Amino acid sequence: MLKKNILILATGGTIASSTSEEGLVPSFGIMNLVQYVTGITENYHITAKDILCLDSSNIQPEEWIIIANSINEYYQDYDGIVITHGTDTMAYTASILSFMLQNIPIPVVITGSQLPMSNPFTDATENLRCAFAMAASNVPGIFLAFNRKIILGCRAVKIRTTGFDAFESVNYPYIATIDSNGLTIQHSIVPKSSLPFELNTLISTDVFLIKLTPGLNPQIFDKLLELNYKGIVIEAFGTGGLHFIRRDLISQMERLSEQGIPVVVSSQCLYERSDFSIYQTGKKILEKGVIQTFDMTTESAVTKLMWALGQTTDLTEIKKIFATNYAGEITL
């Protein structure tokens, strides 16, 4: 059987870390790590490139652009791409790449591990094997491979700090699982598009995410505008609610909308859909022109707003972007 050409792009994270006096630090040399993983080197033609060497807490919008540009530079020469990345912000990177690299024609699979490759109990080898299998699958898209599961990139959320089962696919079925039958892909749920691939890395970093707490002072939003924030995501309560007695968040939302600031409201609940049209407390803000995220993850909502603000500052256009499903991030 012809071996698939797989490119591995390393960005750092625990998977590539070694112990130092200051704690675990990522180090360069992804090929040194991969060459000892049985089931990988003998089955694929591998090219490895270290593009970054960071703990993913330090992976920020500038690094997202570096990663997206690297994928764009090399994708035509490979059957699939594996990206190794720290787990802490992996879901944000997977989400933003889903918007920056829409309709990528090959599989791009992000993975990492909870323990360094050098640890005898590491989960890195298994995660890499699964990521390579998905990268060789001919199923295009941005995916995250972890603990024998493949998640659509824009649906991944990190839910555990140390457990090997660290990621979940939120409000979307797993794209694939790996068990004794091998890699089983649910082809019917992989988002498909007839649109051409397009790299679009224009984003705004001026997006603020705020988790609503009972009694939150509405004036906080004036301060955010003073700091030049251009868009706000609010994790509101339950199905959809914000307080308006005594501390009137609703009027504040109206003021923000009048100033052309997009306000995107999601739920603090991880699972299921928010729907601000059910309760009076939610309905009132919809009338003020805020944007709902329905079943999107917070990671997707934040990165989609950053990407949307990179395309336009026109509120009507941003609403249209949120009313469009680009990569499977929202069920409309």
Q: Which of 10, 40, 48, 56 binds ligand ASP (CB under 6 A)?
A: 56
Cα–Cα distances (Å) from 109 to 46, 78, 131, 261, 288, in that order, read 14, 13, 6, 34, 39
Q: How far apart are CA 213 and CA 299, in angstroms?
A: 19
User: Nearest distance from residue 112's CB to ligand ASP, in Å?
Assistant: 5
List, in order, residues 6 or more apart from 288 with CB less than 8 Å away: 250, 253, 254, 257
191 touches ligand ASP by CB under 6 A: no
169 touches ligand ASP by CB under 6 A: no
Q: Which of these is catalytic: 14, 297, 298, 303?
A: 14
Q: Which of 6, 10, 14, 315 binds ligand ASP (CB under 6 A)?
A: 14
Q: How far apart are CA 329 and CA 332, in angstroms?
A: 10
User: Nearest distance from residue 128's CB to ligand ASP, in Å?
Assistant: 13
Contact call for residues 148 and 177 (beta carbons, < 8 A): yes
In the bound state with ligand ASP, the residue whose beta carbon lies nearer, of 25 and 199, is 25
According to DSSP H, which parts of 30-104 are helical?
A: 30-34, 61-74, 90-100
Respond yes or no: is residue 47 known to be catalytic. no
In the bound state with ligand ASP, the residue whose beta carbon lies nearer, of 86 and 241, is 86
Q: Which of 30, 44, 86, 261 binds ligand ASP (CB under 6 A)?
A: 86
13 touches ligand ASP by CB under 6 A: yes
Q: Which two tokens stand for residue 276?
A: 């601000």
Question: How far out from the chain centre does Cα 329 lie?
Answer: 10
In the bound state with ligand ASP, the residue whose beta carbon lies nearer, of 114 and 293, is 114
Interface stretch with ligand ASP, choices 51-59, 91-99, 102-110, 286-294 (CB under 6 A): 51-59
Q: How far apart are CA 274 and CA 285, in angstroms?
A: 13
The residue number whose beta carbon is nearest to ligand ASP equals: 86
In the bound state with ligand ASP, the residue whose beta carbon lies nearer, of 144 and 330, is 144
Question: Locate tokens 């991880």: which residue?
Answer: 270
In the bound state with ligand ASP, the residue whose beta carbon lies nearer, of 110 and 234, is 110
Compute the C-alpha angle 85/302/309, nearest 5°.
115
User: Nearest distance from residue 202's CB to ligand ASP, in Å?
Assistant: 26
In the bound state with ligand ASP, the residue whose beta carbon lies nearer, of 83 and 253, is 83
Interface stretch with ligand ASP, choices 49-57, 122-130, 137-145, 203-211 (CB under 6 A): 49-57
User: Nearest distance from residue 84's CB to ligand ASP, in Å?
Assistant: 9
Kindly write down the DSSP assignment for every residue of 198-212, as one continuous string. EE-------EEEEE-
50 touches ligand ASP by CB under 6 A: no
Q: What are phi and psi of 19, to 5 degrees?
A: -75, 135
Q: How far apart are CA 326 and CA 102, in angstroms?
A: 7
Q: Using CB under 6 A, count the residues that bind ligand ASP.
A: 10
List, in order, residues 6 or more apart from 77 with CB less than 8 Å away: 5, 7
87 touches ligand ASP by CB under 6 A: yes
Q: Which of 50, 63, 79, 88 binds ligand ASP (CB under 6 A)?
A: 88
Report 110-129 residues binding ligand ASP (CB under 6 A): 112, 114
In the bound state with ligand ASP, the residue whose beta carbon lies nearer, of 34 and 106, is 34
Give every strand in the sheet of 231-236, ordered side by side. Answer: 207-211, 231-236, 263-267, 291-292
Q: Using CB under 6 A, list all residues that contact ligand ASP.
A: 13-14, 55-57, 86-88, 112, 114
Catalytic residue annotation: 14
